[in-house]
Copies of this chain bind each other. A is one copy, B any other.
Amino acid sequence: MAITYELIKTCKQTGARLGKVHTPHGSFDTPMFMPVGTLATVKTMSPEELERMGAPIILSNTYHLWLRPGEDIVKEAGGLHKFMNWNGSILTDSGGFQVFSLSDLRKIEEEGVHFRNHISGEKLFLSPEKAMQIQNDLGADIMMAFDECPPYPAEHEYMKKSVERTSRWAERCLEGHKRPNDQGLFGIVQGGEYEDLRRQSAMDLTSMDFPGYAVGGLSVGEPKDVMNRVLEFTTPLLPSEKPRYLMGVGSPDSLIDGSIRGIDMFDCVLPTRIARNGTCMTSTGRLVIRNAKFARDFRPIDENCDCYTCRNYSRAYIRHLVKANETFGFRLTTYHNLYFLLNLMGQVREAIREDRLGDFRDQFFEQYGFNKPNAKNF
């Protein structure tokens, strides 16, 4: 078994899980946030910086690597770890989400999805078998099943058909996966906001015995309380001895709320994407570094942060760099935001260990401003 999970303890105050995931490239503590390295690079960062900030696992995108540089080149390089010089763990998604969100003219059939390459316009076809072949060639520690991720809101009737097809595709993924001893394949529970469909999807997938399960189809436009409610009735359907991954979620509040609902792993482009626009996450809410008021502010981005950026650079300097479109400015904001979330997850784990994640949530939300009626969420 390439991937195993160890449950260390459950928070008495919230039910959140403290655990450890073991992969062929090392183990990591959970709950954990995974930085996204779409094209075999976490934008602006070096592998050493990711290691230094405490990221044990990163995510990379199958769809993007399939198109550029092509999974055959990555395979020839000796796999994704060697290609990008990253010795930690890697998770690759299935490509399904990008096919549905980025491509034009897609056509979903039982066999798979026809669509056009979002860069060249070329006609392509992605199927469960193809998604497995690409991911086997990339060689990540954790692979994801090829699923359909319908947008929110979707009709119950459509969602039911989609869930059933996703289950049939999951079976084909298990069959198509050629390296189960080296790479662990996670199943993805879909079903939108419908409890009966989430139950059906979870039953189908848990019967197939994947080494881990993701909750998909959230953070696709639904309100936060819908996400929380779906997690509340979905995670109890998943086996406690396996890791649970909430896909595409990375706002500080949702990381805490997801952990409270039994999620172990998260990923999102949010911290890196907003960093490249000069927006920083801080312990007292977000900070838009381009703002004129920071021109002569020689304090760090976050006075409560001990990251490389905050130990060495001022708001005034970072503002200058970002306004001048200097790469180093985006390196500094990216480093800070990723560190902020990784550090937040460390605090979440500490709070679980001490059975006080509920208290931690209240305090964090208050300080961050999530409780204010006009709170700017990320």
Contacts and interface: CB of A to CB of B under 8 A. Distances in A.
Contacts of A45: 328
A135 interface: no
A370 B39 CA distance: 37
Interface string A17-47: 0000000000000000000000111011110
B327 A44 contact: yes
A236 to B, nearest CB: 41
Given A39-B326, A43-B327, A324-B39, A317 B84 contact: yes
Nearest to A335: B46
Interface in A49-86: 68-69, 73, 76-77, 83-85
Interface stretch (A142-150, A169-177, A308-316): A308-316
Interface of A: 39-41, 43-46, 68-69, 73, 76-77, 83-85, 295-296, 298, 312-314, 316-317, 319-321, 323-324, 326-331
6 contacts: A39-B320, A41-B327, A69-B295, A83-B316, A83-B317, A85-B317
B44 A328 contact: yes
Nearest to A314: B77
Contacts of A85: 312-313, 317
Contacts of A321: 39-41
A73 to B, nearest CB: 6
A68 B313 contact: no
Contacts of A330: 327
Given A327-B43, A328-B46, A296 B84 contact: no
Contacts of A317: 40, 77, 83-85
Contact of A41 (B41, B83, B326): B326
